[in-house]
């Protein structure tokens, strides 16, 4: 019986809970029986014997869970085998670092969707996991359901990855695709994106390139380029004009916010992309192009955000930990 | 010490040998020490203590290996842990079926790039592997270095894969992309492709859709749709005219040879694809779009053929068998 604790019970945590409820049969067929033994957010929690369906309902109706114990207490003392750490990303790592560290120290596997801790302490946390004989999985931190982490770590493990160029922020890609189509000013399209729910009221985390840079740091460390957030040269999309799209189009190019890592480069910036290049992808999609020595160029694309897509990436990590060879 | 036998010593088998020589250090770091204990083709072989570099040279210079023992004898009696089966695909399965079956019966892992055996006996061979407690891996059979098999079997294991639409033949995609650009007749572009080495002197295996259909059968069985070659409705690209591209372009479409599998459909045929759709990919690339319930649509693309790319997919299977958790 696999005992699962979920910490962080906002969109992602709730999405995981929903999939665990809805897909219990398939999941148990693949990885064996499981039970959610604790759920916590920063203010409240529930653990022991409880109904996950009830916990979801209580959180939605009251904003709280049953008990006073906070996330950190649950991480330290609840009975679980794997921690799903789904709290909200903070650029400095935030409380998530403590949740992950405490769980690893107790010899528990961790699956996280939280970029902050990995950006702040990638190698420290990885070696803590190794020393304790457990896994720290983080597919959901980059590109939602797009399989970039496992592609880099497993599938391309025997290749040299020379560079990764990616579109890691759906908000920026939506705004740029729409500017390309409509030739309207940035502010106009940003407003549209906000109305559609593709951009936050304060969009700076996305449009300044911060989110893409955090993901780039995670990918860089994954492929063996040691990097921290300060190492990334970041330019956002707020200064791009409809005229820039016009000039680019005349030469057969569009503009996309590209995050790139190689031995020489760690950079997030608006770049010219030929119309027919795979990275000229439109809408809220995320995409990544891996350049390798022997496997050539491998391209992947998928929904980079969304409750179900992120939860689905978390489940793929659970599968990787617990499923046998296939 | 992992003991590897290579059967089939044409382009792919030699490509694997070259990578095993060139990347020995990285490979051993990832999966442990290995030794190639036997190499065979349909007429000759070498086994026991020998230099792989020498074997490669002898094969290239004389077309033969040192000993008279043929592939099937080597498979049956050589000392190895994993068989790399890289013989040429035959639609009816060919000798490859016997190589794979005999190796599995002896409790040896098999990694194959040969589509024939999997198309002819997918479920029989898979359950033979399972009964003998070994793995039968086949990433290299579909899409070269493009990670479709592991994507379907592992990454998306907890998703329902509703459909896969793919471009699985680089020759057809090259011809169609060039017809799109040049608006010249099929015969003209075919000749160009033959001169460039992208099409065979007898191109029917590619242009009639046979190769794409074989790969589709493998993908279908991988995602749980039981299928044999006879179940696929196949139309090739030989009847497509420059005028068809003209008419399509006026509505914003191009034409690609699409292989599609879902619960209702198993079909290879030329299809209209919107210009900006990821499957409108150009050149000799392969591509696949997975439609899933919870991970949304996942798109992958890469070099579908080539000695190093195919060898690289075989190495990724070796890694999957022998590498520990990462």
Give one word for A32, left, alpha or beta, with left for phi > 0 and alpha for psi -120 to 50.
left
- pLDDT for B306 equals 87
A160 and A297 assigned to the same domain: yes
Can you list the alpha helix ranges (DSSP code H) found in chain B? 11-22, 24-31, 52-62, 71-77, 94-105, 115-131, 148-150, 170-182, 186-195, 204-207, 210-222, 242-250, 307-322
B87 located within any domain = yes
Express each pLDDT in B103-143 by its tens digit: 999 999 999 999 999 999 999 999 999 999 999 999 999 99
Q: CA nearest A280 in B: which residue?
A: B276
A298 and A315 assigned to the same domain: no
- pLDDT for A80 equals 98
> Is the reported ipTM for this assembly greater than 0.85?
yes
Q: Which of B119, B199, B140 is nearest to B16 (CA)?
A: B140
Express each pLDDT in A14-69 by its tens digit: 999 999 999 999 999 999 999 999 999 989 999 999 999 999 999 999 999 999 99
B274 located within any domain = yes
B149 located within any domain = no
Rounded-to-integer distance, Cα B280 and Cα B271, Å: 10
Would you call A26 and B156 a contact, using CB atoms and an 8 Å cutoff?
Answer: no
Q: Given pLDDT bands bounded at 50, 70 and 90, which one contains residue B326?
A: low
- pLDDT for B285 equals 92
A299 and A311 assigned to the same domain: no
Q: Please say if the pLDDT value at position B89 is more than 90.
A: no
Q: Is A12 annotated as a binding residue?
A: yes
Q: Which of A115, A93, A23 is nearest to A304 (CA)?
A: A115
Percentage of chain B surpassing pLDDT 90? 93
Rounded-to-integer distance, Cα A275 and Cα A201, Å: 31
Q: Which of B259, B308, B302 is nearest to B148 (CA)?
A: B302
- pLDDT for B225 equals 97
Q: What is the mean pLDDT of residues B168-187?
A: 96
The CATH code of the domain that includes B240 is 3.30.360.10
Can you list the alpha helix ranges (DSSP code H) found in chain A? 11-22, 24-31, 52-62, 71-77, 94-105, 115-131, 148-150, 170-182, 186-195, 204-207, 210-222, 242-250, 307-322
Q: Provide the domain limits for residue A192.
A: 154-303
CA angle B76, B82, B83 (to 5 degrees): 55
CB A167, CB A256: distance < 8 Å: yes
Helices (H) and strands (E) in chain A, counts: 13, 12
Is the dihedral angle over the CA atoms A306, B325, B125, B127 positive or is it negative? negative
Distance from CA of B290 to the nearest CA of A (A): 10
B139 and B184 assigned to the same domain: no
The CATH code of the domain that includes B79 is 3.40.50.720
Nearest to A30 among B30, B158, B295 (CB): B158
A93 and A208 assigned to the same domain: no
B118 and B158 assigned to the same domain: no
B-interface mutation test, from A21, A22, A298, A324, most B Cβ less than 10 A away: A298
Express each pLDDT in B46-85 by its tens digit: 999 999 999 999 999 999 999 999 999 999 999 999 999 9
Question: Which of chain B's residues have a Cβ under 8 Å away from the Cβ of A135?
Answer: 325
CB B299, CB A167: distance < 8 Å: no
Q: Is A11 annotated as a binding residue?
A: yes
B188 located within any domain = yes
- pLDDT for B305 equals 83
- pLDDT for B91 equals 82
B296 and B315 assigned to the same domain: no
Q: Is A166 annotated as a binding residue?
A: no
A-interface mutation test, from B129, B147, B152, B292, most A Cβ less than 10 A away: B147
pLDDT averaged per 10 residues, chain A (length 326): 97 97 96 97 94 96 95 96 94 91 98 97 97 97 93 95 97 96 96 93 96 98 96 98 97 97 97 93 95 96 91 96 82
A10 located within any domain = yes
Would you call A315 and B158 a contact, using CB atoms and an 8 Å cutoff?
Answer: yes
Q: Is B9 annotated as a binding residue?
A: yes
CA angle B160, B162, B168 (to 5 degrees): 115
- pLDDT for B144 equals 87
Residues of A with active-site annotation: 215
Would you call B156 and A320 a contact, using CB atoms and an 8 Å cutoff?
Answer: no
CA distances from B230 to A42, B35, B104, B142, B247 (A): 58, 40, 26, 18, 32
List B108, B165, B215, B267, catalytic entry: B215
A56 and A133 assigned to the same domain: yes
Per the structure block, which two tokens stand in for B116?
């024939």
Nearest to B309 among A145, A281, A296 (CB): A296
Q: What is the mean pLDDT of residues B206-225?
A: 97
Would you call B157 and A319 a contact, using CB atoms and an 8 Å cutoff?
Answer: yes
Phi (first) and psi of residue B127, to 5 degrees: -75, -30
- pLDDT for A326 equals 64
A149 located within any domain = no
B72 and B133 assigned to the same domain: yes
Q: The pTM is what?
A: 0.95
- pLDDT for B92 equals 84
Question: Which of chain B's residues have a Cβ under 8 Å away from the Cβ of A111?
Answer: none
B14 and B67 assigned to the same domain: yes
B117 and B242 assigned to the same domain: no
Helices (H) and strands (E) in chain B, counts: 13, 12
Q: Strand A109-112 relative to strand A136-137: parallel, antiparallel, unpaired? A: parallel
Question: Across all residues in chain B, what is the average pLDDT?
Answer: 95
B288 and B314 assigned to the same domain: no
Phi (first) and psi of residue A139, to 5 degrees: -55, -40
Number of domains in chain A: 2
């Amino acid at each position: 019986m696999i005992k699962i604790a979920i910490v962080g019970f906002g969109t992602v945590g709730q999405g995981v809970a929903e999939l665990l409820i809805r897909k219990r049969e398939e999941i148990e067929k693949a990885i064996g029986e499981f039970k959610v033994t604790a759920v916590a957010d920063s203010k409240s929690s529930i653990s022991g014997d409880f109904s996950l369906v009830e916990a979801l309902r209580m959180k939605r109706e009251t904003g709280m869970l049953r008990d006073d114990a906070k996330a950190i207490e649950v991480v330290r003392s609840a009975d679980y085998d794997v921690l799903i750490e789904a709290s909200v990303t903070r650029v400095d790592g935030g409380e998530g670092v403590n949740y992950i560290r405490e769980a690893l120290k107790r010899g528990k596997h961790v699956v996280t969707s939280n970029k902050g801790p990995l950006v702040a302490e990638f190698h420290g946390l990885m070696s803590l996991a190794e020393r304790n004989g457990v896994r720290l999985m983080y597919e959901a931190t980059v590109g939602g359901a797009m399989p970039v982490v496992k592609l880099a770590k497993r599938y391309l493990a025997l290749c040299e990855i020379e560079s990764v160029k990616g579109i890691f922020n759906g908000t920026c890609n939506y705004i740029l695709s729409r500017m390309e189509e409509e030739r309207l000013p940035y502010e106009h399209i940003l407003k549209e994106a906000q109305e559609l729910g593709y951009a936050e009221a304060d969009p700076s985390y996305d449009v300044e390139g911060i989110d893409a840079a955090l993901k780039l740091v995670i990918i860089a460390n994954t492929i063996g380029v040691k990097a921290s957030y300060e190492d990334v040269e970041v330019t956002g999309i707020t200064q791009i004009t409809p005229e820039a799209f016009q000039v680019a189009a005349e030469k057969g190019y569009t503009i996309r916010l590209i995050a790139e890592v190689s031995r020489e480069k760690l950079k997030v910036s608006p770049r010219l992309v030929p119309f027919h290049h795979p990275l000229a992808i439109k809408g809220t999609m995320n995409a990544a192009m891996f350049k390798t020595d022997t496997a050539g160029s491998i391209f992947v694309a998928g929904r980079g955000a969304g409750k179900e897509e992120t939860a689905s990436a978390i489940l793929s990590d659970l599968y990787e930990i617990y499923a046998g060879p296939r």
